Structure 1
Amino acid sequence: MHQRYDIRIFEKECKSLVKSGFDVSLIVNDDLPDEEVDKIKIYSTNFQPKNRLNRMLNSNKKIFEKALEVNADIYHFHDPELLPLGNKLKKLGKSVIFDSHENYTIQINGKDYIPAILRKIISKLYFYYETYSIRKYDAVIFPCTYNSQDPFENRAVRTVFIDNFPMLEELYHIFDESTHKEKDAICYVGTLTEDRGITNIMEAAHKAEVKLVLGGIFTSESYEQEVNNRSEFSCVDYRGYLNRKEVLEIYRKCQIGLSTLLNVGQYNKGDHFPTKVYEYMAMGLPVILTDSKHVREVLKTYEIGIPVNPDDPKEISEAILYLLKNPELAKKMGKDGRLAIKEKFNWGIEEQKLISLYESL
């Protein structure tokens, strides 16, 4: 599923392993030529799936063929569709790591493209097959515990928690306190769905009479149309899909970052923040985010922003106005956020766990 230059896989994991002396190959599903970038050998299957079904039915065979060509000692994969491939590689005596970016058992229950009547049974079947597979694997990587529990406890031989924290050199080190901020501008950058709170933050921004800079792609055309048709959309500056440079420019110019995911599915159950929250923090933005047990724990040490009820646009609006009317407090929250990134929430800390795992294998 992932692009060849995926931030977590290519920029963080592959580059960290190369830096530590590992010989790294990256197998990707696309129709671009093979290449070597920063000592990472990228091999393409020369197969660009036309849709989700095409990917699920035809990718594994092509990826497995490439995996055999590479003949690695350790295989590390990131997509649940590749669990059968991991099983085959274990039979060949290889070390196998499953990097589970999400809690797929819970996530399946929220997939709109799966008929509602089938979601629970597919979720259960996936859970059983995942358990059957990972019991054979050497390790599972997961970004966080869930309500302080390991979701792979008693299922995996070994779980290593490696969060998707930002790289200091990408965000933290380019922060410039003197950058001119756009007056009354707040931002959200990421996937655009109702479950991620977009309708409510748009309504909150309209109530507060501020500009909401929105970056990302709507996953549903019907939802995009619904949002566009609302009167509150008049406060939105929609930028569409953004490259990394454009994302950073939004962070530089805006005064507040928002991430008010609704309490549905797997959202707000993990003991970590959405990746965008760490990015806001690294760029010195105070954050308005969904209230949760984990958020309150972090706020005891680092006052990074204001927790809110994500279902209440009025409460979100009041938090926006409070920060705009108290610029010194907002500035302090931005500084606390950057301190938290420097001390605790950065990739330099996480990469050591990855390297230790590889060295042990």
Structure 2
Amino acid sequence: VSGTLGNSKWIVVASSVHRWDDTRILYRQAASLSALGKVVLFAPAPFRRKKMGNITIIGIPPWHHKHQRIRLIASLYFTFRNNIKHVKSIHVHDPELLPLIYLLHRKNKHIGLIYDMHENYKELIYSKSWIPLFLRSAIKKIYVWVEEKVIPELSGVIYSPKELKNKLLSLNSRAVRIENYPILKRESAFPNLEEIKRGNNKVVYLGQMRRIRGIMELIEAIKVVSKTIENIRLEFIGRAVPLNFEWEIKTKIQQLNLESYISVRGHLPYDEALRLARDANIGIVTFLPTPNNISCLPNKLFEYMQLCLPVIGSNFPHYAEIIEKNNCGLLVDPSDPNSIALGIIKLLSDPDLIKKMGNNGRRAIDNEYNWENESNKLLNFYYETLSVNLL
């Protein structure tokens, strides 16, 4: 990562982890912020530079080892420092970038600095398989210390898990909750209510496949369902994390003789994945009860709702607030394959219920859970916290 930002004043968005085409960062936030001026996005990408409307994407090399990650963060710091006079604000999306913006802030207090917390990071540490078990508690303490040191110095904080509200407001009064809801304008990938025609007993899982997201339990549930519904189909659409987990998934499918019932399609472009999912009957989001999973609402929940898919979700309080409130799906025990299977069988046995719940979910997206509403919150937040910088 090197070079200059030129003579323009930029709104900088940066991630050292999330891909350049991350839906929250690029298609929602960066696209909305481009209404305020030129946006430059630094994120892992297979190219060096790309322009999309008022957004310039600077590709940074994906890291594969810890030392590469450290060098990458250092490189970002020097790039920002050397071009600081061309920067209006810096909006970072990863906890490891907190020290970076803190160091920049010490000598550049006129620059707007925003930290975006997608998840409850201090709890997420315990589910990171690459962190040795004996180090996780210590790393959590270090992260909390950094958070309490840096966040009060920032221009503002954006967060998603609502449990973080009181803690963040105690550190910085300029904290706002902004969810990653679907974009209503991207209608090409989504059906209208009257266009829904299904009868193929297809179930879909969208997004990254991780062990803590209940993938193995879902496979076992399909084995149970197949004894009642012979033409059941499950499609996994997304990459496995870590990559060798895909081998475990396929091995599990073979062991249970489910090759004709389950397909693993891997990562697909966002709109292509949604177009493939739109023909399903049910969307699955049965994450296992880890602290972070319990406190966060996954994107796929709302994507299923926009696709008019009834949802089978984990029986967590946050999920219930959406699914039960809008009568758009069923709650199950994500750690029990039989509970998941019963939910799938109940819906597939009642086409009218599928249609009713699917339509309920879509109406909720149209009326409440959409990015257009969240975009207004984001722009107002920028105006209120960074009004001087944006002039």
Q: TM-score, normalised by structure 2?
A: 0.85
Partner of 2:55: 40
Partner of 2:175: 159
Matched, 1:326 2:342: no
Report Cα offsets for 1:177-227 as digits up to 9, x if no partner: 435536111010111122101111111112111211111122235543333
1:26 & 1:215 partners in 2: Cα distance? 26
Partner of 2:5: none
| Cα separation, partners in 2 of 1:304 and 1:31, compared to 1, 3 Å | closer
User: 1:110 Cα shift?
Assistant: 1.3
Unaligned runs of 5+ in 2: 1-16, 227-231, 387-391
Matched, 1:256 2:269: no
1:180 & 1:338 partners in 2: Cα distance? 15
Partner of 1:216: 238
Contact 1:14 1:40 in 2 (8 A): yes
RMSD, matched Cα: 2.1
Matched, 1:86 2:108: no
| Cα separation, partners in 2 of 1:220 and 1:90, compared to 1, 3 Å | closer
Identical residues among aligned pairs (%):
30
Matched, 1:10 2:23: no
Matched, 1:194 2:211: yes
| Cα separation, partners in 2 of 1:151 and 1:57, compared to 1, 3 Å | same
Moved more, 28-37 or 81-90: 28-37
Q: State the SS of the aligned residue for 1:267.
A: helix
1:280 & 1:140 partners in 2: Cα distance? 28
Matched, 1:72 2:94: no
Contact 2:189 2:275 in 1 (8 A): no
Report Cα offsets for 1:40-77 as digits up to 9, x if no partner: 13334xx5144141342111232123324262122111
* Counterpart residue type for residue 126 of structure 2: N
Partner of 1:56: 69
Of 360, 363, 367, the residue aligned with 1:336 is 360
Contact 1:27 1:67 in 2 (8 A): no
Partner of 1:134: 151
1:214 & 1:194 partners in 2: Cα distance? 13
Partner of 1:268: 294
| Cα separation, partners in 2 of 1:52 and 1:158, compared to 1, 3 Å | farther
Partner of 1:308: 332
Moved more, 292-301 or 192-201: 292-301
1:29 & 1:329 partners in 2: Cα distance? 42
Q: State the SS of the aligned residue for 1:131.
A: helix
Contact 2:161 2:295 in 1 (8 A): no
| Cα separation, partners in 2 of 1:36 and 1:297, compared to 1, 3 Å | closer
1:275 & 1:223 partners in 2: Cα distance? 21
Partner of 1:102: 119
1:320 & 1:257 partners in 2: Cα distance? 10
Report Cα offsets for 1:20-41 as digits up to 9, x if no partner: x333222335562334321113
